[in-house]
Amino acid sequence: MPKDNIERAIAKGTGEGGDADALEAVLYEGYGVGGVAVLVEAVTDNRNRTGSEVRHTFSKHGGSLGEPGSVAYLFDKRGLIVVDGERYSEDDLMPAIEAGAEDVSIDDNVFEVITEPSDLTAVRSALTEAGIEIQSAEVAWLPKSRVPLDEDGATKVLKLVDALEDNDDVDAVHANFDVDAEVLERVMNQA
């Protein structure tokens, strides 16, 4: 391979050079099996290629890519902090409320602290300063309502989500399905 081609590829990958493509964030919206709404966050240098790959993945797994705005209204962009519910009590999380957290709830032995995206850093810092160990903290698209799925539906939706996440351009996949913990465990063990 010629040296010029190698240097051009390196320059493109690092964002340098005249022919470097700009990366852009794209939000794809679609539906999975059972009417489950799916949001796909991607960062790409070629919107057409990524759109085509995402559309193909949806169709291959029984879903369909929607128009912009078709499912985004079913989600809220929020800050989400996850804390171990077995190690800490709700009283231990009071610094989060004082720092601006909107809600603290427990789900499957973990506390979920919900914030406005702009308050995420302040709430995370308040918890860290209080000696609370944080499992994860991110800005995420949280569903306003959930679609209940049986084992078959859960299997199909999880295969769609996995296939979308396997795409190199995809950063995150959010869906509004709800499955019993026992069913989810069986489905995950089958995979």
The pLDDT value given to residue 20: 47
66 and 86 both lie in a single domain: no
- Return the closest-CA partner of residue 161 out of 146, 151, 176: 176
The pLDDT value given to residue 179: 86
The pLDDT value given to residue 156: 92
Instruction: Assess if residue 45 is contained within a domain.
Output: yes
Instruction: Assess if residue 49 is contained within a domain.
Output: yes
* CA 40 – CA 27 distance, rounded (Å): 6
Instruction: Assess if residue 1 is contained within a domain.
Output: no
pLDDT in tens, 2-53: 677 677 677 766 666 554 457 899 999 999 998 999 999 999 989 999 999 9
Longest alpha-carbon distance in the chain: 64
Which phi and psi angles does 78 have, rounded to 5°? -140, 160
97 and 129 both lie in a single domain: yes
The pLDDT value given to residue 184: 77
The pLDDT value given to residue 5: 66
Instruction: Assess if residue 2 is contained within a domain.
Output: no
Domain assignment of residue 125, given as a range: 75-143
Which parts of the chain sit beneath pLDDT 70?
1-2, 5, 8, 12-21, 191
First-to-last alpha carbon distance for the chain, in angstroms, is 40
Total domains, the chain: 2
86 and 137 both lie in a single domain: yes
* CA 88 – CA 85 distance, rounded (Å): 5
54 and 15 both lie in a single domain: yes
Of 126, 143, 160, which one is at a domain's C-terminal end?
Answer: 143
